[in-house]
Structure 1
Amino acid sequence: MAQATMQDKQGILLEAGTNEFEILEYYLFDQSFGINVHKLREIVPFCREELTTLPDSHPSLLGTLLLRGDTIPLVSLADHIGKHLDPAKVAAASDSAVQTRQVVLVCEFNDEVISFLVDGVDQIHRLSWSQVKPMDQFFESYRPRFTGTVTVGERDILIVDMEHIAYEIFGDGEHYAGGDDEVEASSSRKENRADVKLFFAEDSAIIRQGIMRVLKKAGYDLAQSYGDGLACWNAVQQAKEEGELPALVVSDIEMPELDGLALCRRIKEDQVLRQIKVVMYSSLINENTSHKCVEVGADDFTSKPDVTKVVALVDKYCLVEE
């Protein structure tokens, strides 16, 4: 398999704020999974000779790969989510579309580069976030690892939250807890925050709970959170009818039903709602994607997982300087 880079797709870039996105479909044996192509830097064949194992590392961390002079951690996605390749089934499926030559997905998010070993790739699909359905409550224990599920043809594709998996392997379980003391110590205007109404849209329950806890501790007692962009949009519409608009909306980008860019665009294209400040908070924020935030009218943007930056931006747009 020849090396492929995501820069080769420049001719089919999506317009910002249309609620469309593209996923690369890949396999862990006979199950289809998907990843947002904006998180992909490139796809390379797996070469075991280029793998350096690490002692006393996480069971899912195979080691590091040397890729054009850079040392990149390699995670076995099958090991981590329990979807193992069965050699007997592979032999029986030799005539199927499933590829048995493993490849590496080199990903970039949160200003970090991490690679994931998978069993093969298929194709890129252009979809709408309205097609992505949240994981059923029956699979509650698995939900943090998946953004949702989407049906393409007759296949159900699970969209993996690579960011959350990276946190499980490399983090300490308190990714969105850090910074509490710093936020509290720097708050000389905590009482002024109490009257500020703001909305926070984020599909990850773990992140949503962590951010809300920090915001509440900082004094933003009227902060409200929503599990996807559509729920937040409905809340904004209701606030408009009641004549009590939030001062600010902080939103993730990747969310089922309605993504953050489309949410921002709807707000900024409404003559009444456009006064609401919008800050994008996403692992996708980098030099290649931040221009999309500008295109839809976002007032600012910052990358996960720095919680203190979120509070600083909320202060910037919600508190009147004395």
Structure 2
Amino acid sequence: MAQVRDEKRILLESGTNEVEILEFYLGGQSYGVNVSKVLQIISYESEKFTRTPDADPAMPGVLLWRGRTIPFVDLYAAMHVHTRVDVDRPIALVTEFNNLICSFLTDGVNRIHRIGWDRIDQLDAYMSQFSAHFTGSVHVDDKDILLVDFEYLVASFFPETKLDSEKQLILPEDVTPEDRRTKRIVLAEDSSFIRHTILTILERAGYAQVAPFENGLLASEHLMKIKKQAQAEDKPITDFVNLVISDIEMPQLDGLTLCRRLKEDPVYGSTPVIIFSSLINEQMSIKCKEVGADAFITKPQMAELVGTLDKLLFAI
């Protein structure tokens, strides 16, 4: 089947505020996942599946892929889809995110849609209270595609992939919490839970002056207001903001586009930008470099994030 992520090419020019969504089916409903998370689309072969004793129905075993065994997730059980459709040739999506390779069973795939992040709608409060399995939706070809939060689905099985504000971190000692309190940071992260967790951990380390925003567009608008204020008061931008941390996948404006815009701005060009995302891999690292990111870190490596903040802000 298709090799989705070709290491020799980049599907989209970096920083165009576009995303490619792979549409797949489950129980008659269309769902989507960012192509950047998909390594390969393969036919599910039962002889390559090994059931694990006493396993959770959502992760019943492992799948043999390229000579190695990888976790196998049954999306019907994981997403509580009760109407199972029998298909002749089920499809497995082999994914990589948070430094973890997994496979997900689906009924089949349709096509890849190239869309702008501004077309992706966040789930309203009513929908969100019923399911944390989705990050948003997009209307394409007269149908609604729900975007699945694969990270959420596997977090209970692999706690090391989940941000945890209660986890004790060994933080760098080159910089004191008092030093960190002098720095002003802008954070763009669409997940309210992850945003709160990052804020909690950064504050514990001493980075208490962090302005959080739920997407790249709001962060960008805030930064432009700060720029006008700095110019009106004839002050350097560093008096108002010292660094930007951004996720990649966000509605309205993605992190790569936000970074590119800042690096092309004559005022913000030297402001450090850290990309903090579950999507960091060899391919995405190239994109981060293309848009001028000063660093890119895989979630949930919070100790590395704090250490990188120290290096960029205090030149240690």
TM-score with structure 2 setting the length = 0.91
Pair 1:57–1:86, CA change in 2 (3 A): closer
SS at match of 2:60: strand
Match of 2:38 in 1: 40
1:226 maps onto 2:213 in alignment:
yes
Shift of 1:49: 2.2
Is 1:6–1:37's contact at 8 Å kept on the other side of the alignment? yes
Match of 1:319 in 2: 314
Is 1:212–1:223's contact at 8 Å kept on the other side of the alignment? yes
1:249 maps onto 2:244 in alignment:
yes
Pair 1:277–1:318, CA change in 2 (3 A): same
Match of 1:96 in 2: none
Pair 1:225–1:77, CA change in 2 (3 A): same
What percent identity do the matched residue pairs reach? Answer: 41
Pair 1:242–1:176, CA change in 2 (3 A): farther
Matches within 5 A, 1:167-206: 167-171=155-159, 175-177=163-165, 180-183=168-171, 186=173, 188-206=175-193
Amino acid at match of 2:71: P
TM-score with structure 1 setting the length = 0.89
1:63 maps onto 2:51 in alignment:
no
Is 2:5–2:36's contact at 8 Å kept on the other side of the alignment? no
1:278 maps onto 2:273 in alignment:
yes
Measured in 2, the distance between the counterparts of 1:188 and 1:259 equals 31
Measured in 2, the distance between the counterparts of 1:148 and 1:252 equals 15
Measured in 1, the distance between the counterparts of 2:270 and 2:189 equals 21
User: Any gaps of 5 or more consecutive residues in structure 2?
Assistant: 231-238
Measured in 2, the distance between the counterparts of 1:9 and 1:254 equals 20
Shift of 1:11: 6.4
Higher helix share: 1
Match of 1:214 in 2: 201
Give the alignment partner of residue 288 of structure 2, picking from 269, 290, 293: 293
Pair 1:24–1:188, CA change in 2 (3 A): closer
Measured in 1, the distance between the counterparts of 2:294 and 2:315 equals 16
Measured in 2, the distance between the counterparts of 1:312 and 1:9 equals 29
Render the CA deviation track for 1:136-193: whole Å, top value 9, x for unaligned.
111223564222110002110011111121113322796333654412x736511011
SS at match of 1:177: coil
Is 2:169–2:303's contact at 8 Å kept on the other side of the alignment? no
Give the alignment partner of residue 24 of structure 1, picking from 19, 22, 25: 22
Match of 2:236 in 1: none
1:258 maps onto 2:256 in alignment:
no
Measured in 2, the distance between the counterparts of 1:139 and 1:180 equals 33
Pair 1:37–1:277, CA change in 2 (3 A): same
Shift of 1:316: 1.1
Pair 1:153–1:163, CA change in 2 (3 A): same
Measured in 1, the distance between the counterparts of 2:9 and 2:170 equals 44
Amino acid at match of 1:197: R
Amino acid at match of 2:242: A
Pair 1:126–1:200, CA change in 2 (3 A): same
Is 1:75–1:115's contact at 8 Å kept on the other side of the alignment? yes
User: Any gaps of 5 or more consecutive residues in structure 1?
Assistant: 91-98
Measured in 1, the distance between the counterparts of 2:162 and 2:96 equals 21
Matches within 5 A, 1:161-172: 161-171=149-159
SS at match of 2:226: helix
Match of 2:136 in 1: 148
Pair 1:277–1:294, CA change in 2 (3 A): same
Measured in 2, the distance between the counterparts of 1:4 and 1:172 equals 30
Amino acid at match of 1:16: S
Task: Kindly report the root-mean-square deviation, in angstroms, between the aligned alpha carbons of the 2 structures.
Answer: 2.1
Match of 1:128 in 2: 116
Pair 1:181–1:12, CA change in 2 (3 A): closer
Q: Which moved more, 1:205-214 or 1:162-171?
A: 162-171
Amino acid at match of 1:107: T
Shift of 1:227: 1.0
Render the CA deviation track for 1:54-83: whole Å, top value 9, x for unaligned.
123323002101122110111011211112
Is 2:3–2:40's contact at 8 Å kept on the other side of the alignment? yes
Measured in 1, the distance between the counterparts of 2:265 and 2:73 equals 44
Measured in 1, the distance between the counterparts of 2:242 and 2:88 equals 52
